[in-house]
Amino acid sequence: MTIIKKEVKRKQYQLIKGMKDILPEEQKYWQTFEVMTKNTADKYGFQKISTPLVEHFDLFRRSAGAVSDIVEKEMYNFVDKGGENIALRPEFTAGICRAYIEHGMLNLPQPIKLYSIGPCFRYDQPQSGRYRQFYQLNFEIIGEQDAICDAQIILVASKIYQKLNLPTVVQINSIGCADCRPAYEEVLRDHLKKYRSKLSEVSQKRFAKNVLRILDSKEKTDQEIVKDAPQQVDYLCDDCRQHFIQVLEYLDELEIPYALNPRIVRGLDYYTRTTFEIWPAEGDPATVSALGGGGRYDGLVELLGGRPTPAVGFAVGLERSINFLKEQKVEIFESFQPDIFLAQLGVESRKKSLALFEKLCDSGIQVSEGFAKSGLKAQLEMANKLGVKYTLIVGQKELIDGTIMIRDMEGGIQEMVDAKKIVAEVQKRLAKTQLNINNIAKEGDNCQNQTAK
């Protein structure tokens, strides 16, 4: 008799293009930024807001502008089952302003200071530091026009990197307001028109509708052409000039390193006056990828149906910030660093260990275990890898004697301890070695330069 084996076709699924798994070993970097964000927000009085991942497509079309890259090329939008044109958020600000209006936050004492952290989506061409799903942390001050808010927003953005020992520089510009910008755009067009045919294809398209964006083109030929272009700061109206000077004075006072950069125009229609980006301090201006950026957007709330409301904010990208952290070799400690490893030998010991594990945890001891392993060698290897100070071994003999073996992982010395006194004994030994490095994570400062370790 012949047996016909049925062929099972295995299909392996892969990540969608531009998406990224954040594996367990990467999580400590993400946690560092999350903790840092929360601590910074608390310190400067920002409250957390979480808006949905999806909004009406039109919200982004209106806010970012129909000719922005985001709306023209990068939106993840679809028609849902109810026939609505829905988009995954490409950034936070529009959704936050919608929430500000919808929940009547205008009636609360102003300004409203909000922060968010979460994924955004842009259907961009994936490359190093650019994904289709990426994470941003985002801060906004809504309802105040004073330049001190611009300075505080820039301070908060800089502080996050400063606290992580990451050298950054603020690239800053002012793009004026609806009163003074049109005249500057004309001057710029006038200057560029003689080079129009030499501009890159994208910049040629932007010439009529979005001439400012030619200034931040990444194309070498465009960069050469705009090098000597007239600068917006020389064409600001009195109010915008005054505002810009005040912002810079505040930055001087705070000793925040900055560089005036006429090419920082940002990609979205809603910006007014201050625009800025955070760059790695050593970044090459021709090729640098900004870690984050932001600026003032005094007209956006009104554009979205609210009352005229000045506002300023910024967002930084976490993937790029984490890459920078790694490049700078800043060492991040694991937020969970066990002090004790619990090893067991045999079925009965395993049962006892399960309860002992709970007892140790409940006493505030950081403990890890090897329940899934049966051999002592493999468990001691695990303990070594984890870098614990002591391993507790619960074996058959110990079970009968009512004892537990405690092994000092550094010297290999082993001692028998009365099982009833094991928690107190562990606490006593740990207190002596002052091992709990988790204290270092306090205030989010769970990092040090590698040399400092």
Least distance CB 185 / ligand AMP (angstroms): 21
Contacts of ligand AMP in 90-119 (CB under 6 A) = 91
Does 71 bind ligand AMP (CB under 6 A)? Our answer is: no
Does 166 bind ligand AMP (CB under 6 A)? Our answer is: no
Cα separation of 209 and 212, whole Å? Answer: 9
Choose the stretch contacting ligand AMP; rule: CB under 6 A; options: 121-129, 154-162, 395-403, 417-425: 121-129
Does 293 bind ligand AMP (CB under 6 A)? Our answer is: yes
| Contact present, 80 and 73 (Cβ < 8 Å) | no
Least distance CB 313 / ligand AMP (angstroms): 10
**Residue among 32, 63, 77, 136 that touches ligand AMP (CB under 6 A):** 136
- What is the three-class DSSP state of 224? helix
Contacts of ligand AMP in 307-336 (CB under 6 A) = 315-317, 319-320
Does 20 bind ligand AMP (CB under 6 A)? Our answer is: no
Least distance CB 286 / ligand AMP (angstroms): 17
| 181 vs 266 by CB, closer to ligand AMP | 266
Least distance CB 135 / ligand AMP (angstroms): 8
Distance of CA 124 to the CA centre of its chain: 19
Amino acid at 173: N
**DSSP-assigned beta bridge partners for residue 277:** 171, 293
**Residue among 170, 172, 290, 404 that touches ligand AMP (CB under 6 A):** 290
| 230 vs 267 by CB, closer to ligand AMP | 267
Choose the stretch contacting ligand AMP; rule: CB under 6 A; options: 148-156, 237-245, 287-295, 416-424: 287-295
DSSP per-residue codes, 82-108: TS-EEEE-S-SHHHHHHHHHHTTGGGS
**Residue among 20, 38, 130, 189 that touches ligand AMP (CB under 6 A):** 130
Burial 137-169 (b: 16+ CB within 10 A, else e): bbbbbbbbbbbebbbbbbbbbbbbbebbebebb
Choose the stretch contacting ligand AMP; rule: CB under 6 A; options: 53-61, 195-203, 284-292, 332-340: 284-292
Helical (H) or strand (E) element with 169: strand 168-174
Amino acid at 247: V
Cβ partners under 8 Å of residue 125, min gap 6: none
Contacts of ligand AMP in 210-269 (CB under 6 A) = 267
What are the residues binding ligand AMP (CB under 6 A)?
91, 122, 124, 129-131, 134, 136, 267, 290-293, 315-317, 319-320
